[in-house]
Amino acid sequence: MCGIVGYIGTKDAVSILIDGLRKLEYRGYDSAGVAAITGSNLELRRSVGKIINLEEVIRNNPIQGNIGIAHTRWATHGRPCEENAHPHCDCHNQLVIVHNGIIENYAQLKEDLISKGHQFRSQTDTEVIAHLIEEYLKEDLEEAVRKALTKIEGAYALGVISLKQSDRIIAARLASPLIVGMGDGEFFIASDVPAILSYTRQVIFLEDKEMAVLTREGVEITTLKGTSIQKTPTYIEWDPIMAEKGGYRHFMLKEIHEQPRSIEDTIRGRIVENEVCLDELNLSKEDIANIDKIFIVACGTAYYSGVVGRFMLEGLTRIPTETDIASEFRYRNPILTDKTLLIAISQSGETADTLAGIKEGKEKGAKVISICNVIGSSLTRESNEGIVYTRAGIEIGVASTKAFTSQLTALYLLAVYLGRQKGVIDEHKTKELLDQLRLIPREVENILTDEEKIKEISHQFQHYHNFLYLGRGINFPIALEGALKLKEISYIHAEGYPAGEMKHGPIALIDEDMPVVAIATQCMATQGTVYDKILSNIEEAKARDGIIIAVASSGDTQITKKADYCFYIPKTTEFLTPILSVIPLQLLAYHIANYRGCDVDQPRNLAKSVTVE
């Protein structure tokens, strides 16, 4: 989605703004622009494509200033072109605006403004805001923005500067993320933390319908109605290096290798004397005792973590649990009561469909919690009954990896916690479950040492056009996730399927041109009733010239006779197996995509956070 950066201080604004845009590139964009004020000049430079093009424009036609705003655009209204790139101006180039979100009533507003003589230059919804502010701008820029925003329906995170009052940036947000960075005599706005982390760790997360006025003297935050609000900045622990690639070729590979730590961090402080402590939850023992149904809603990879979570929750709490893709859930009028627990899962906490799902749950009286990776994100502020934060740190790669395994870890902790609170599992079982969890970070580390073998095999599979991923039981959602990883970064068509469904259609696809990735793990303690079944599926595929890539458990001697290639993972319990079985599939997808020369961190057509429907 779009990226916003703003700066006011005493330094050269343009270099800080461009640096900030670079740190937001992962959000996906198709054009970029920057505006700065120096003296009585308000200058604007924009370009289509990558930020390097914008830098070229600025090199050929420099702009100076100690106050400015900048933007990377992901087109929602109007095709990617320079005229549609932000910042957008009013009629007389007296003010400029950058915006992330969608103005739903922009067509009517534009018609009204044109009838009043405003001249539009773009097809965007955003430009309407610039002319609306112009319509109200007499002396006070803040007031003009406030009035303009009362006319707007939809979502916005925006920054405005004007020659009328060139000593301030006005910022506001509704349903689209925006933060304020508190520096020393310099202040920032941004869509996300990485943009300003090199300059300050003190960050204020604006809430919906809040405005901020940034001057060199400080920041004032008010409601849209003008009521002053005191907010305490959040100290961001993230080290700026975390947002760099740390020596890896891509953020995605760095994040795959960060998983032992991100899983450990997600566990950290949440196991006390062999009991799970989830301080951010606001569910009383009575609330938990009353829960008679759980819904999990999410999108994409987060949804697949929810499908795994369903096994954990039903297995450890015995509460009926359903999972729903958020974009379906929000429109199907689901049956929820005050005894329903709705769990929303989202890495970014800004996914529009997931936010709408949680809204649906609240409207129907459900208890709502979220599993989220971004402190202060919109989803966390909608979660009345609390949050279980995944502590994966910044996830820059568009393809989610460490956030996914952190979500599985958080779901496991939540399932143990709820099962214990409901009295379904006793102290002994709880200790056993947590002892197994504590081993997982090291087990992930062990799998990652196998990377070279996976890389070699990936080299042989880089030219195939179709893949089939098979799994059974708790590994079926891992087959879905493995297929998503491959298709979203290598652009190879890949489909995840329940292995038991092969005879109902997919087996017709099998031939030497359709590699089959089969997750055929054995679980500790329970020999896994589905293991023998998936061995049969593998034989069926082999008999039709299928090439088999298997993910199997260490020490399994049967699988080597059936699969062409094997990745081994340590044995663990059923509920923890997915955290391990997904790792080889992440690496397989990464290396195939890398061999194909794909833009692994910013795959075509994709954005890290889908903040619009």
Contacting residues toward ligand AGP, per CB under 6 A: 299-302, 346-348, 351, 354, 398-400, 488, 609-610
> And the tokens for 429?
């079982």
Choice among 2, 89, 523, 566 that is catalytic: 2
In the chain, the amino acid numbered 206 is L
Tell me the residue nearest to ligand AGP as measured from the CB. 300
When computed from its CA atoms, the radius of gyration of the chain, rounded to whole angstroms, is 26
CB of 531 to ligand AGP, least distance (A): 28
Nearer to ligand AGP, 72 or 346 (CB): 346
Q: What is the DSSP letter of 236?
A: P
Q: Is the dihedral of CA 257, 259, 262, 265 positive or negative?
A: negative
Nearer to ligand AGP, 38 or 76 (CB): 76
SS3 readout for 402-450: HHHHHHHHHHHHHHHHHHHHCCCCCHHHHHHHHHHHHHHHHHHHHHHCC
Nearer to ligand AGP, 113 or 587 (CB): 587
Q: What are phi and psi of 127, to 5 degrees?
A: -60, -25
Three-state DSSP class for 581? Answer: helix
Calpha distance 121→182 (Å, rounded): 35
In the chain, the amino acid numbered 214 is L
- Among 404, 434, 439, smallest CA distance to 417 is for 434
Calpha distance 195→589 (Å, rounded): 28
Strand pairing report for 179-182 and 202-205: antiparallel
CB of 568 to ligand AGP, least distance (A): 25
Nearer to ligand AGP, 25 or 574 (CB): 25
Active site residue 2: yes
SS3 readout for 49-113: CCHHHHHHHHHHCCCCCCEEEEEEECCCCCCCCCCCCCCEECCCCCEEEEEECCECCHHHHHHHH
CB of 613 to ligand AGP, least distance (A): 12
Calpha distance 341→247 (Å, rounded): 42
CB of 398 to ligand AGP, least distance (A): 5
Choice among 110, 562, 571, 608 that is catalytic: 608
Residue environment code for 567-606, b if the CB has 16+ CB neighbours within 10 A, otherwise e? bbbbbbbbbbbbbbbbbbbbbbbbbbbbbeebebbbbeee
**Taking the CA of residue 522 as centre, how many other CA atoms within 13 Å lie in the half-sphere pointing to its CB?**
13
How open is the CA angle 262-602-208, to the nearest 5 degrees? 70
CA distances from 370 to 13, 121, 295, 366, 500 (A): 37, 42, 11, 13, 32
CB of 488 to ligand AGP, least distance (A): 6
CB of 610 to ligand AGP, least distance (A): 5
CB of 143 to ligand AGP, least distance (A): 36
- Provide, for the chain, the percentages of residues in helix, strand and coil under a 3-state DSSP scheme, each rounded to the nearest 5: 40, 25, 40
Nearer to ligand AGP, 473 or 603 (CB): 603
> And the tokens for 385?
């009954």
Nearer to ligand AGP, 55 or 360 (CB): 360
CB of 355 to ligand AGP, least distance (A): 9
- Among 510, 529, 507, smallest CA distance to 520 is for 529
Active site residue 209: no
CB of 371 to ligand AGP, least distance (A): 9
Q: Residue 255: enclosing H or E segment and its boundaries?
A: helix 251-257
CB of 192 to ligand AGP, least distance (A): 12
Q: What are phi and psi of 103, to 5 degrees?
A: -90, 110
CA 268 to chain centre: 22
Nearer to ligand AGP, 68 or 482 (CB): 482
Catalytic residue list: 2, 608
